[in-house]
Amino acid sequence: MVEVMYFAWVRERIGEPREQVDTNAATVADLVEELRAREERYAVAFSDLSALRVALDQELADFDAPLAGVREVAFFPPMTGG
């Protein structure tokens, strides 16, 4: 099980800020494929990965990063701090 979190418009499109996901996905990209296949709202949120960023256990990562041992996955748009 991993805790999957969504921020900003990703959260709005999916309709919730976080959820527990039962997955055996090897990489972030594999997890995204599983989520996309679930429902239309996920397919919409994950339609363009170039518009998304991912963090694994609160560290920025790439979509081909392995999920082994990861507890928290977060998806969000490019950050706009400052």
Partner 1 sequence: MDVRVQGDAFDVGAELSAFGQGDANVGAVVSFTGIVRDVAGGLDRMEIEHYPGMTEKAIATMVDKASARWGLADSLVIHRYGVMRPGDQIMMVATAARHRVAAFEAAEFLMDYLKSRAPFWKKEFGADGSSWVDAKDEDEDALSRWD
Q: Which stretch binds partner 1 (CB under 8 A): 3-11, 27-35, 40-48, 61-69?
A: 3-11
For the chain, what's the residue count?
A: 82
Most distant CA atoms of the chain, gap in Å? 37
Residue 82 makes contact with partner 1 by CB under 8 A: yes
Residue 43 makes contact with partner 1 by CB under 8 A: no
Tokens of 49: 């990965």
Contact 79, 53 (CB under 8 A): yes
Give min distance, CB of 9 to partner 1, in A: 5
Residues that bind partner 1 (CB under 8 A): 5, 7-9, 55, 58-60, 74, 76-82
